[in-house]
Amino acid sequence: MKRLIEAADIQSKVSELGRRIADEYRGRPLTVIGVLTGGVVLVSDLIRSIDLPLRVGMIHASSYRGKATSPGDITLDVELLPDIRDRHVLVVDDIFDTGRTLAAVIDHIRTANPCSVRGAVLLWKERRREIDWEPHYFGFKIPDVFVVGYGLDYNDEHRSLPYVAALEEGDF
Ligand code: 5GP
Ligand code: MG
């Protein structure tokens, strides 16, 4: 594996995002929705960097189904989604790749009539975008390589790495 982004750089970026989000949502009812499973690491670090009262919920989205293949249909499980009517929603995921996952989550969230919806991701593979929408907050733009760590898995492993690494030929 080749390390792409060190843990300390992720931590300072997440703190910076948290401060920005706190400034922009101050005085407004905020609900942060993490996208399971890859979004759990960012959501847990990010909410502790947002110095505001907020609520937390989760939604489960799967497209890769544990394999490093191209994304198929996106399945949403909305069982853990709290009531978001009259709240400002920030959806937090690990990575924006084609954008289809976040778009599906946000389309669903909009049907529940929140005041607003924005997206936040740690990583953004800018050149892979397939939809006409972009994340409002992002940590780092990365090239089109398969990455693991900080929530991102390969066959359900490596999610707990505190840094982001790219898998190389022999790693698959
Ligand atoms: P999208 O729907 O934007 O194409 O893909 C988003 C989802 O695909 C992410 O939440 C993540 O689960 C998965 N994904 C996309 N690129 C990568 C990658 O480089 N590494 C890993 N581990 N997962 C990825
Ligand atoms: Mg994911």
What residues contact residue 169 under an 8 Å CB cut-off, 6+ apart?
none
Nearest-atom number in ligand 1 for the CA of 125 is 16
The pLDDT averaged over each successive group of 10 residues in the chain (172 residues) is 97 98 98 97 98 98 61 84 96 96 95 97 92 94 97 96 95 86
Domain segments of the chain: what residues?
7-143
Of 108, 112, 107, 115, nearest in space to 89 by CA? 115
pLDDT of residue 22: 98
Q: Structure pTM?
A: 0.94
Q: Find out whether the beta carbon of 93 lies less than 6 Å from any atom of ligand 1.
A: yes
Q: How far is CA 37 from CA 20, 67, 74, 168, in A?
A: 25, 14, 13, 23
Tell me the C-alpha distance between 27 and 38, whole Å: 29
Q: Which atom of ligand 1 is nearest to the CA of 94?
A: 10
| CATH code 3.40.309.10 for 7-143 | no
Asked if residue 1 has its Cβ within 6 Å of ligand 1, the reply is: no
Q: Where are the alpha helices (DSSP H) in the chain?
A: 7-25, 40-47, 100-110
Shortest-distance atom of ligand 1 to CA 145? 19
**Ligand 2 centroid vs 89 CA: distance in angstroms?**
18
How far separated are the first and last CA of the chain, in Å rounded? 10
Rounded to the nearest angstrom, the distance between the alpha carbon of 27 and the centre of ligand 2 is: 30
pLDDT value at position 169? 87
Paired tokens of 44: 């847990």
pLDDT of residue 71: 53
> Is ligand 1 within 6 A of the CB of residue 122?
no
